[in-house]
C-alpha cells in the first residue's frame, strides 16, 4: 500500500468510523462473530468502515436502508476477507438490497444450445464487476442462530472471490504455499460425493444446493465455514482445511474458545 493509500485509509477510519454503540449492537446480533478476538473485531470494524465508505448502497423497491442495516451487511461482507485484505473486494461498487426475494428474467441456453427464457426468484446475486445484490429478509434470517450454515452475504462474496480468477468455477486465486492439486482434489472429491448422495436420496449434511455446480459448492461451503464450521468439518474435513488455508481463518477454533 503506497503512502497516499495509507493516508486515505487513516482518514476514512478516523472521520467515518462506525459508531461504537452501533458496532456493539451489530456484533451482538451476529452469532458467528462471538468467537472473534479483540484484535480480529477491531480489524473487522476497520474493514467494515472502509466498505461502508467505498460502496454505494441502494435500497430497491422503496426499501429504506438504516445505518444498522448497512453495517450488518458490511460486517458480513468483510468477514471473509478478514485475513485477506480489503483489496479483495475492489473492482465493484454497488450494493443493492431488496426487501425480500426478487425476480429476474434470463435467457439461458440448454445443453443443446437452445435458448430458453426463464424467470428466477433469487435471494442473492453477484458477478465479477457487477453489484452485490441481496434480500434483506434473507440477511435478517441468516443472522439468527436458527439458520445455521446459511448466509447470503457471505455466499455472494465467495462468488466475488471466485471470480478473481476470471471465471466463477469454484477455484479462486490460491495463495503461495497452497498446492493446486490439493485444493482441486479436496473440493472435487467432496463435490462428487455430495452429488452421489443426492442421486441416491441420502442425507447430505449440508445444503444440497451446493451440488448445483463447483462454483455453488465453493460458495455454500464458505457459508458453512464461517457460520457452521463444525458441520462442515464433520462432513468434509479436507474442504474445511483448504478453506482455512484460503481464508486464513479458523472459525472452528474460535467456536471452541467461545
Q: Which of 48-57, 124-133, 197-206 has the highest mean pLDDT?
A: 48-57
Across the range 227-243, mean pLDDT stands at 96
Question: CA geometry: angle at 164 spanning 204 and 194, to 5°?
Answer: 10
Q: What is the pTM of this model?
A: 0.91
Does residue 108 contact residue 116 with C-beta atoms inside 8 Å?
Answer: yes
| Residue 179: predicted pLDDT | 95
Across the range 44-64, mean pLDDT stands at 95
Q: Does residue 85 have a pLDDT over 70? A: yes
- For the chain, report the end-to-end CA distance as a whole number of angstroms: 34
Across the range 47-70, mean pLDDT stands at 95
| Residue 257: predicted pLDDT | 65
Buried b (16+ CB within 10 A) or exposed e, 196-222: ebeeeeeebbbbeebbeebbbbbbbbb
Q: Does residue 123 have a pLDDT over 90? A: no
Lowest mean pLDDT among 54-63, 120-129, 177-186, 225-234: 120-129
Q: Does residue 226 have a pLDDT over 80? A: yes
Q: Round to whole Å and give the CA distance between 215 and 169.
A: 4
Amino acid at each position: 500500500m503506497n503512502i497516499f493509500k495509507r493516508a486515505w485509509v487513516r482518514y476514512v477510519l478516523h472521520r467515518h468510523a462506525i459508531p461504537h454503540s452501533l458496532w456493539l449492537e451489530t456484533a451482538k446480533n451476529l452469532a458467528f462473530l462471538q468467537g472473534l478476538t479483540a484484535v480480529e473485531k477491531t480489524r473487522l470494524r476497520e474493514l467494515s468502515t472502509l466498505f461502508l465508505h467505498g460502496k454505494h448502497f441502494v435500497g430497491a423497491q422503496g426499501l429504506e436502508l438504516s445505518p444498522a442495516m448497512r453495517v450488518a451487511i458490511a460486517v458480513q461482507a468483510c468477514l471473509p476477507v478478514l485475513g485477506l485484505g480489503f483489496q479483495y473486494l475492489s473492482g465493484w461498487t454497488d450494493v443493492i438490497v431488496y426487501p425480500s426475494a426478487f425476480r429476474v428474467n434470463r435467457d439461458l441456453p440448454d445443453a443443446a444450445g437452445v435458448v430458453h427464457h426463464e424467470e428466477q426468484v433469487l435471494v442473492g446475486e453477484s458477478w465479477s464487476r457487477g453489484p452485490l445484490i441481496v434480500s434483506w429478509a434473507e440477511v435478517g434470517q441468516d443472522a439468527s442462530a436458527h439458520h445455521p450454515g446459511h448466509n447470503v452475504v457471505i455466499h455472494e462474496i465467495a462468488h466475488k472471490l471466485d471470480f478473481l480468477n476470471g471465471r466463477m468455477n469454484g477455484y479462486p486465486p490460491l495463495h503461495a504455499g497452497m498446492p493446486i492439486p490439493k485444493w482441486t482434489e479436496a473440493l472435487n472429491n467432496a463435490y462428487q460425493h455430495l452429488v452421489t448422495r443426492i442421486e441416491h436420496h441420502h442425507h447430505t449434511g449440508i445444503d444440497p444446493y451446493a451440488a448445483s455446480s463447483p462454483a455453488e459448492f465453493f460458495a455454500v461451503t464458505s457459508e458453512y465455514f464461517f457460520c457452521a464450521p463444525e458441520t462442515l468439518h464433520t462432513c468434509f474435513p479436507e474442504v474445511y482445511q483448504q478453506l482455512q488455508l484460503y481464508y486464513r481463518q479458523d472459525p472452528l477454533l474460535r467456536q471452541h474458545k467461545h
